[in-house]
A = this chain, B = another copy of it.
Amino acid sequence: MIKNADPIAALRIETPPATLREMALERMRRAIISGVFEPGTRLVERTLCDQLGVSRSVIREVIRHLEAEGLVEMLAKQGPIVARLEWDDARQIYEIRAALESTAVADCARVADEKVKAELRQSLNELDRTSQQNSPLGILDATTSFYRTIFHAGGHTIAWDIVTRLNSRISRLRVMTLSTPNRTTSGPSQIREIFARIEKNEPEAAAAACRAHVKAAAAIAESIIGVDVT
């Protein structure tokens, strides 16, 4: 690391990112993603004020943010609700993920050095651990960190933002997908395949493996929710 090349920068006092709004945003987002608020649930502003202990200004600004993220929908004359997810949207999201992730994986395979590979290996171990424990949330975290490493290694920070946002929109679906019995075993093996190709620096093969992985996830998702999930 070359971090201490600039010791002066290290002196900077970190401003606590602790505006009420940011905290509320984080809580709300997690609440929606983790399913505390079901899709379609009305988000009554004054109620949220009580629940989060902040004023309506804060709540409303948070809702604007979540709206732009696609996690919240505004019904005219009725206010915000947790966005519903139609299968067609989910299908598209999986397609986009396939495109972005396979591109990132390929680039990662091109440039991956030992350091990156070590990080990936660590995520894989975490993945093994969590999938043996049959912990969907843990698997999700491990998978996330695996892909985060890949995207950042290839310099795809913006694509990573997009993927993160898309994933939050299908989070419930992902958890359900991960709970599928055969997924618990096939998922990790597919990810291992991606890593194997990256390790050998084979961009095309890695990308193909990645596309297969996403495609499999999409297929399982479709089989679970079939036509629509409200």
Contacts and interface: CB of A to CB of B under 8 A. Distances in A.
A79 to B, nearest CB: 12
Interface stretch (A94-102, A171-179, A181-189, A190-198): A94-102
A123 interface: no
Contacts of A62: 64
Nearest to A99: B99
A60 interface: yes
A208 to B, nearest CB: 15
10 contacts: A57-B57, A65-B67, A67-B68, A88-B155, A95-B103, A95-B159, A96-B158, A96-B159, A99-B100, A99-B103
5 shortest A-B CB distances, which residue pairs?
A68-B68, A64-B64, A92-B158, A61-B64, A99-B99
